[in-house]
Chains A and B, each alone.
Chain A
Amino acid sequence: DVVMTQTPVSLSVSLGGQTSISCRSSQSLVHSDGNTYLYWYLQKPGQSPQLLIYKVSNRFSGVPDRFSGSGSGTDFTLKISRVEPEDLGVYYCYQGTHYPNTFGAGTKLELK
């Protein structure tokens, strides 16, 4: 299985600040069709996960431009700027390129 190594495990951020989360895969996530199926989700307390970014860098509908995704191959990053209280929760990266699809272990974003 593809191992998704997500760091850090937790983050403490000030409101209005900026932060980033790293996700590294144990093998390239470039699919034979040329796409890279790397996703980012946020699970807020008491809610289901919600899609933020799909295929590395595409913001899902309604996601603020404070969220941006980047990377290629095996190294990926989610950046969050101008952190707001609604951004708190657990962030996950997820790969849909190889079967079985796999998740990172999660990064908990808290307020400083």
Chain B
Amino acid sequence: EVQLQESGPGLVKPSQSLSLTCSVTGYSITSNYWGWIRKFPGNKMEWMGYISYSGSTSYNPSLKSRISITRDTSKNQFFLQLNSVTTEDTATYYCATRGGDYWGQGVMVTVSS
């Protein structure tokens, strides 16, 4: 059974970095594409980016140079780092496969001082 599990702090201060981990079981991250999606308060969803089976990445230009997605294949994990966060980055963050066939349960992150 394929499972994705996000982990990371639920509260981040403005201007600091948000760091999340997605731990994957039942599927090697050296296959497929693995991404991050967030849902803002209300219903708006935003695709943030993904890392491929080879380690290449693609990011949403709206996040400019603030975002980085990396991985540790030995642990079958991939990571999200979002720098210089503001209150507008408050959202529920999900990791998922690119086609959305598998999702994590999501982690709510609040940006607040």
Interface Cβ pair total, 8 Å cutoff: 47
Closest residue of chain B to A90, judged by CB?
Answer: B43
Q: Is residue A96 within 8 Å, beta carbon to beta carbon, of the partner chain?
A: yes
The answer to whether residues A100 and B61 also contact, given A48-B106, A106-B43 and a CB cut-off of 8 A, is: yes
Contact assessment for B99 and A54 in the assembled complex, using a CB-CB cutoff below 8 Å:
yes
How many chain A residues touch the partner (CB < 8 A)?
21
In chain B between 32 and 54, which residues have their CB closer than 8 angstroms to a CB of chain A? 43-47
Q: List 16 A-B contacts (CB under 8 A).
A: A39-B100, A48-B105, A49-B45, A51-B99, A51-B100, A51-B101, A60-B101, A94-B45, A96-B98, A96-B99, A100-B47, A100-B61, A100-B62, A103-B46, A105-B43, A106-B45
Q: How large is the interface on B (under 10, 10 to 19, 20 to 34, 35 or more residues)?
A: 10 to 19
Contact assessment for B94 and A39 in the assembled complex, using a CB-CB cutoff below 8 Å:
no
Contact assessment for A49 and B43 in the assembled complex, using a CB-CB cutoff below 8 Å:
no
Q: Is residue A67 within 8 Å, beta carbon to beta carbon, of the partner chain?
A: no
Contact residues of A: prevailing secondary structure: strand
Contact assessment for B94 and A103 in the assembled complex, using a CB-CB cutoff below 8 Å:
no
Residue ranges of B at the interface with A (Cβ–Cβ < 8 Å)? 43-47, 58, 60-62, 94, 96, 98-101, 103-106
Complex-state Cα separation, A103 to B46, whole angstroms:
7
Closest Cβ–Cβ distance, residue A35 to chain B (whole Å): 11
Residues of B within 8 A of A50 (CB): 103
Closest Cβ–Cβ distance, residue A43 to chain B (whole Å): 8
Closest residue of chain A to B97, judged by CB?
Answer: A51
The answer to whether residues A41 and B62 also contact, given A100-B47, A103-B47, A106-B45 and a CB cut-off of 8 A, is: no
Closest residue of chain A to B102, judged by CB?
Answer: A51
